[in-house]
Chain A
């Protein structure tokens, strides 16, 4: 019996804006490398009598995002106090926006799981302050306690809320990738800073209560958290159980979610207008905001300017640094460079947990490598080998060795097929069964032979040449 479970997902994405100073005071927002409680002042410590004053740049950045995401800016926006009692909040309230946010509506275009275009609508975007950072300490024997660092208190955030319109964890992941790329292109946040993009997800099975998952600190964890939660909810329903409307925390290490205590979920924030901040009227600023080329436009340009395939163009423009990297090496041969960057380099980078920014300074060397492949100085296989050696040296020793030097050092230069004739003949002789299979018309039998030759020649031979030579030897 097939069971129909329709999954409904909505996201709340928090992004730290990369302003120089905090949202309501002049404390430096560049706090990550510094000692705790050294980027604080009476305002962000919530000391009596201190008054917040809004950072204009934060509003401009938020409007830039709103424009890029096709939002409407209401005539008036108003800050509110969201009251809750927790040590990460100095004032026992967070300054955020309530019924009158900065922006409403808007949408993000993604692809659904079948590869068709899909529009996910946005509910709103608002500006708010980041709370402080808590470190949970202690043990069973000596008791538990909490350490608080208010350096993060008051860092400007925008919260972007989507409608519950995604229907799989993969769609949610694609939306986040698109959003992350857009924010990066807009130059309003730094994706390499830990915790600069944080996600809460609402997820439900149609006809059942929804669950909010908090604490997803790596946006790559979103797909994992949602996948786990769908399985949990489906199993619960299959067993005849009921989904409880609740907040659950994602445990990054275990890849599971656990129920938060009901006290933390008490949704009684008693919002009221922030009396210390006048309203904002910024709708007419939007027309003066100039947007840079955004990921979709760049993808389309890559396809028309470089004549590359849509999947390559999409991968290459999904990350600003990657797109810039590709454009510097494209002159070596646009199609070859696209394939070597999007397919091969990205795979090798991911395998090493590296980011393209770590090789961006050596784009000329990567271009040299592609040139060696293009000019048939080395085979594709040897090219991959050179790439690995090159990346390992960059990664582990921060040493950059020219690909041509690596080819020389490891003796990977391509040699013409003729010099391998002896090896080919010997391998054919050693594998009469494969030859017989091939003659009997079995597809792929020759591939085994070619593979053996490649191995024997350490990748210096060209598989197409070897193929041709085998056919010739076998008198075909």
Chain B
């Protein structure tokens, strides 16, 4: 059962604030999503969890990177090739 405090904490970890009026709605949505897992829990999965896919690798080979110009296309107001972000310390 997710409480309103849980929602506030989870939002806080992502640096988001939840508008006071929407807290109840978010809490309800969280709980509704988690209820789907109750349905999944009813499935018979004995023996079907064996992982058939493992050890997928690439060789240590260098491929071409993006140009700095392309890399910064989604950045607002880059500075000398760097992406600008708000103050963090």
Contacts and interface: CB of A to CB of B under 8 A. Distances in A.
Interface of A: 19-21, 25-28, 35-42, 45, 53-59, 76, 83-87, 92, 134-138, 143-150, 266, 268, 270, 277-282
Given A145-B86, A146-B88, 16 more contacts: A20-B61, A21-B61, A26-B58, A26-B62, A26-B63, A28-B62, A37-B72, A53-B57, A56-B60, A137-B79, A144-B87, A146-B86, A149-B81, A268-B13, A278-B56, A281-B55
B61 A38 contact: no
B62 A147 contact: no
B53 interface: yes
Contacts of A87: 83, 85-86, 88
A136 B89 contact: yes
B75 to A, nearest CB: 9
DSSP class of B's interface residues: helix, strand, loop or mixed?
Answer: loop
Nearest to B89: A136
B76 to A, nearest CB: 12
Contacts of B58: 26, 53-56
Contact of B85 (A25, A76, A84, A146): A146
B81 A36 contact: yes
Given A54-B58, A57-B59, A147 B13 contact: no
A41 B51 contact: no
Q: Return the 5 tightest CB-CB contacts between A and B, nearest first.
A: A26-B63, A57-B60, A147-B82, A56-B57, A144-B87
Interface of B: 9, 13-15, 51, 53-68, 71-72, 79-89
Contacts of A76: 54
A45 B57 contact: no
Contacts of B65: 27-28, 38-41
Contacts of B82: 36-37, 135, 147-149
28 contacts: A20-B60, A20-B61, A26-B58, A26-B63, A26-B64, A28-B65, A37-B81, A38-B81, A40-B65, A41-B63, A45-B71, A54-B57, A55-B58, A56-B57, A56-B60, A57-B59, A57-B60, A87-B88, A134-B85, A134-B88, A135-B82, A145-B87, A146-B84, A146-B85, A147-B84, A148-B83, A268-B13, A278-B55
